[in-house]
Chain A
């Protein structure tokens, strides 16, 4: 899938204005600050600046555009190559990873403005850093693992065809970044940990349930996953807005996963009804 972009940035150095929504904690002292950051367009050998390199610039020069000294922006960051999921935030209103947001593409002209805000579906820790613990907790709820017997040597795992592998591989690229949840109208912020077990699980976790159900050994605990997705907050909470699949940076077929799990849950419920279990 090509995401190729041709740089249209003007040559030489230009100034890009950052508007950043800051906070000292969840809903604490929320404020906007603006910074002017000099950016050199990506030439041979240097590569384009991205949102992270601009945040690094602000950290080294923590002064607002009005000349007020301030503190470096707090944000979550890791690999810088869009495989860890850390630096997810709202950039000009759209959820995505900051590392792969190239300035030459999103702010090609002198004076262009880039707006940064924290994700809204998770509590803010500080500035752009949010706490996505709920996402990982929800993976526990759906038994998102292959139930192996242990680490002793018991030979190879089940064989699979290249086609099956290609489908599973795509699903396995989910880095738990939360873009699909941010974009989803049904997934709402839930600060109370007690409610995490009944709130909507969201597309990422539904897709992971499909991933494990597709694996021969993983399928042995299929019932646990289908039970979890049959309950409150399960697959039936999906409102079919289909925002998730558009927001996914890894182009994981999330709506296919939701449809597949929706069918599986229906069949599971019918079987339960007739077997009386």
Chain B
């Protein structure tokens, strides 16, 4: 590797798992990193991740699982909307990522033999999810935060916490050469130079009002990049998590691990003539409901996967039974029941989420079934990014070579059909030098993200694609950003000053908090679990009206010190702009795929829509222009997605999946017919 120029710097915006992993990788290569975050990085939204992180492991491997299976499951779960080379690379890297986190000291749960324990998770019949209680995201975050702090003491990473990213600085050649940011305490706005910029700012949950996201997940940073010319991919693909606890300020996540560890979803119901009908007393105490009056909706309809079907499916089923009048107490809730499990085991494996339920609902889930309902959780879509497939990918794509998907290969001898590790553009947006890592990009998850793949994709982006940032900066060592004229930076700062002054000077009667709430209401109503043309059009009209009202807003606080009223109002404007591609993308995609469900077009339509939606911002109309791009499916041919059946002959089903992990099974490859106990 070339010796880095001491004058070259990289900016990372966002201090969650993707941003921290990327910072570590770039700092390790010797470049100075400036790390920007709205909050002290240790408080980033990644701490909310609960269930775990997926990776093939030795036990699963000897039961017939492989990196290939993980790859294939991810594609199948995502309804084949992903570009395949990045997913291939990510799933093959996964075991190495677990090892690294393990070395950093993450307290992964352990088996009796002191091996890393595993649990079942959605979309897989093998235990391949590593976990640390039910606060896995928090534990992973802390491990990376600690390593970043170590680099900080060595002067290799500089943190800018409580700083907000306002825009990328793009030169006349279309290259990103820095950012403009604002100190949220002093309100100072200034530019920062960088030879490359990584955006790792997470998802846009707040566009939907109440979601499982943290309050800083407005999508504003992504929206600002989009408004400055970055393409946005698959905006209509929003994951609604099946199990959240409704709250006055947010929907608190109740991890999929609750189902992975045996949690069962049911509603009270009566069977008449072979058909379930709503229960006459749907509000009766759950433990007094007779067994034959409990409708286990997922187990009945999806015998192979049961309660661990992917999220979009569980969400639609729960949503559907509540719509049909089966909800608990007649409302919008179903039971998620863990009461049949031993308390001690629940505390050890799920303590964190049980505690959340106790604190926020006031009931003990080991005693009483939890009451849950779906909530907006994750965006599969995001900033459009490119990549370079590895050397052999073309041979597979052309049909010259094909993957034998029954083979469990030695991961060291896998075919080179993932990503080119030496490329300088992996996860770079269409703007040179501007990268997007983690949830903010649109890769890996397609139409639905499988549980416990998010932590993986965030860290993979940081570590693997962080290498692309290093390559990019190294190759541009002769063209230093430090030598650029100041003018373009000053113009960018001036642009943001003007925007702030304009917001401060508005004097209408509208309030940004009220506008955001109404935006959330309409987006949740028309653009989440079930969408149709009429509803999406209604929402577009509504967003347009909200835009007009936004112009009539005034700020209650116009002070120049720690003004959260200003920063929120500014973010609301960016949320309104991002709502447009989410709705237009959904309107234009006349099919149903993964999380995007249109009863007016109920089937998947590969002929017309096995394509990435690309939204481009039109600065004149402030609306998005929608176009499509082919999906790279050269490795696995898309097939029908059907979770009522197990994937392949001989694979385990939820009822006979290996229940207990034991010491490795030697050479006996589990066929799934019995599993280990």
Contacts and interface: CB of A to CB of B under 8 A. Distances in A.
A145 interface: yes
Top 10 A-B pairs, shortest CB-CB distance: A157-B102, A145-B146, A71-B557, A47-B247, A60-B513, A126-B562, A53-B249, A157-B103, A146-B105, A53-B248
A125 B562 CA distance: 7
13 contacts: A72-B513, A80-B215, A83-B135, A100-B359, A125-B185, A131-B185, A143-B150, A148-B104, A157-B105, A160-B107, A160-B114, A168-B107, A173-B138
B268 to A, nearest CB: 14
B149 A144 contact: yes
B263 interface: no
Size category of the binding interface on chain A: 35 or more
Interface in B482-506: none
B622 interface: no
B519 interface: no
Contacts of B24: 151
Contacts of A78: 39, 43-45, 214-216
Nearest to B39: A78
A96 to B, nearest CB: 11
A233 interface: no
Interface string A48-86: 111011001001101000000111101111111111111
Interface of B: 24-25, 28, 39-40, 42-45, 47-48, 96, 98-100, 102-105, 107-112, 114-116, 132-133, 135, 138-139, 142-143, 146-147, 149-150, 152-153, 161, 185, 214-216, 245-250, 252-253, 283, 328-329, 331-333, 348, 352, 355-356, 358-364, 371, 373, 463, 511, 513-514, 517, 556-557, 559, 561-565, 568
A82 B332 CA distance: 25
A2 B368 CA distance: 13
B361 A79 contact: no
Given A71-B556, A71-B559, A78-B215, A160 B110 contact: yes
A107 to B, nearest CB: 14
Contact of B105 (A72, A102, A143, A217): A217
Contact of B112 (A80, A162, A166): A162
A130 B51 CA distance: 32
Nearest to B515: A60
A165 interface: yes
Interface string A88-103: 0000000000011010
Contact of B556 (A46, A49, A69, A83): A69
Nearest to A172: B107
Contact of B147 (A6, A70, A148): A148
Nearest to B159: A136
A105 B107 CA distance: 34
Interface of A: 1-7, 24-25, 42, 44-50, 52-53, 56, 59-60, 62, 69-72, 74-86, 99-100, 102, 105, 125-126, 129, 131-133, 136, 139-140, 143-148, 150-151, 153-157, 159-162, 164-166, 168-169, 172-173, 175-176, 212, 215, 217-218
B249 A99 contact: yes
Contacts of B25: 151
B248 A46 contact: yes
Contacts of B102: 156-157
A146 B246 CA distance: 38
Given A72-B565, A172-B139, 8 more contacts: A4-B362, A46-B248, A47-B361, A83-B48, A136-B40, A140-B153, A146-B146, A159-B114
A50 to B, nearest CB: 6
Contacts of B250: 80-81
Nearest to B467: A151
A74 B252 CA distance: 23
B249 A56 contact: yes
A148 B559 contact: no
